[in-house]
Structure 1
Amino acid sequence: MSNLKETEATQAAGEVPVKEQTPDIKAPKTRKRTAQRAGAIRTRAASSALQASSSKAIASPTVRAARRNYSENERAQKLGEIEKQIGRGESIKAAVQNAGISEQTYYHWKRAAGQTTQSDELKDLVKLEEENARLKKLLADRLRKENAELRKKLGLA
């Protein structure tokens, strides 16, 4: 029994209350990145990548040009140039690179031009129908006049 009391006494002396064993340490709160901080991180990463790549010898650096807005006429002109180059047997990728735009931009412009072309075709069709009606009236008037002259000459009128 004395052994039992000794073990209980040693356990009681060696044991530390639960609160003392686990101190109240709060984990630091994670902060959400704001757009500005995230941009700064991206900018630093991009600049370090740019510095690393500039230290190496690169044949053609891929520097992103500033975005440019093209007018409708410029778009139509570039699309025409690309179509000519494709007609000569050049690949779409090469023709688009020569024009200085991306393939995605090319297909976007082409789709937009196709939509306006359909409405332009409809307008052209309406104009052609109006011109056709006008020409039919002119032809009918001339035929009436000729018919009237022939009847006078023949004495039928």
Structure 2
Amino acid sequence: MAEENNTGSIAAAVAAEDEKTSAAKKKRSPRRRKAAAESGRAVSEAPAAKPRRYSEQERKEKLRLIETQVAESNGTLKNAIKSAGISEQTYYQWKRTVKPVEHRAEKPLPAGEELADLVRLEEENQRLRKLLAEKLRAENAELRNRLGLD
């Protein structure tokens, strides 16, 4: 019977500990729904605006407008970009894509005489490279003979 009393006191101690820990635990609120489900509802309630697409001409005009506003009014670039109705990221992307195209258009193609001169220069360049390579090979061979590496 001593054994039964002993286990009973352990069970009572464990029950007392459970009551203490359960009282100390905080109750959780229910989980929030995922953002995807919320955004799905938002789309059905109000249609999303389509992003505006500008033509090349409109882009160039807006870039010119921004540059003139900054130059004339001594205003900040940010204010000029906002007044044009675009974001800073869009401005810099447009500026980056427009610049290389302008540089390509400015470079004139060589004329007939210039092209002939260019061909002659390239041939002379190849000839000089071959002469230099032969001279270096000869010097290398001479140095190897002097050092006794051959």
TM-score by length of 2: 0.47
TM-score by length of 1: 0.45
